[in-house]
Amino acid sequence: MRIINCVGARPNFVKMAPLIKELQKHSDVEQILVHTGQHYDSNLSKSFFEDLDMPAPDICLGISNGSGLGKIGRIMLKFGKVLEDKKPDLVVVVGDVNSTIACALTAAKLRTKVAHVEAGLRCRNLQMQEEINRILTDRCSDYLFATTNDDVKNLLGEGIPKEKIFLVGNVLIDSLSQKIERARDSDILRRLNLLGGEYCTLTLHRAENVDNKKILSELLEAADSIQRRMKVVYPLHPRTKKMLQKFKFYSRLRRMKNLTITEPLGYLDFICLMSNSRFVLTDSGGIQEETTFLGIPCLTIRNETERPITVRQGTNTIVGTHKDKIVRETIRVMTEGKRKRKIPKLWDGKTAGRIVRILLQQNA
């Protein structure tokens, strides 16, 4: 069986690493790892391969620059040639980034089976590019591997045949559970002169937040208010830095005395930073899940989430994008004790094994 695994951005690497490791146990499976190049910053790409013990990509498409649509189109053209050359039995895609839909759609057009890991996530906001990517990728896929029962219900409600849907758990947690001990050995706290529990971690990268001048300005006001109360550590995503400079906001950020800006961090450094935070402020989907597993309070800077189980069972609170609510919830988290949280069903570090068993059984 020949499988092409497709990655392109940081969240893809974290989700793909356990699958590659699990597939390596089967000598009758040939794996080909294709990296589209969507994330080209070394700390968003190369260091993640090293931290996650992933093999170097067999094929790199080198699609790093240009608009979202331009990237998708160029990925499709180059990936189509890979499929015609390698003739795989299956293409595996993960998550919801542009590389995910580009590779899934190309494979479907060329009549190659597609497996989508993390299928069925829905936030009901079609202004969000990732939501469009999720819906279209699921429609292209032959195997839909769902993280929670919420996701299964979403897929069934959209008319996806139930025989295509498999509830397997969260492969992101596989990576976290495998690497958490190594992450604890990171010296990131020493390098940044931090003490555990005495700072919060901030991440922002989604287009609907950072590409909107008014919203981004409001979020900077919130960050300014928070850093007057507690030290804030902000690993700055290249996309966000570009928009801060475009809107001439970067100097505002640099003037915040109790906010530390860092370059994008590798996986182990970031897990160490996050797991020692008093709380996390983020617009990331994966971080909502990682903080739930770790028991770290998470304030999600969005108006909705495609991961509602992290709110019901975990440590996640949706705080929107208005300064007043963000600051109010921050103060609440700073003053209250730890919330009880329940780790969702099948978030047990064994998801990759379940996925591989299903794929091998289905293709025997």
Residue 26 has what DSSP assignment? Answer: -
Q: What angle do CA 286, 330, 287 make, to 5 degrees?
A: 5
Token representation of residue 187: 């010296």
Is 205 annotated in the active site? yes
Amino acid of residue 13 = F
Burial of 46 (0-12, 13-18, 19+ CB in 10 A): middle
Identify which of 12, 356, 354 has the alpha carbon closest to the alpha carbon of residue 172.
Answer: 12
Rounded to whole angstroms, the Cα distance separating 215 from 263 reads 23
Separation CA 97–CA 136 (nearest Å): 12
Query: Bridge partners of 323?
Result: none
Residue 98, number of CB atoms within 10 A of its CB: 22
| Non-local CB neighbours of 77 within 8 Å, separated by 6+ positions | none
> Nearest 5 degrees, angle CA 225-CA 229-CA 234?
70
d(CA 86, CA 194): 49
Q: Name the residue with tokens 């499929």.
A: 83
Marked catalytic residue, from 39, 116, 205, 237: 205
- Active-site positions read 205
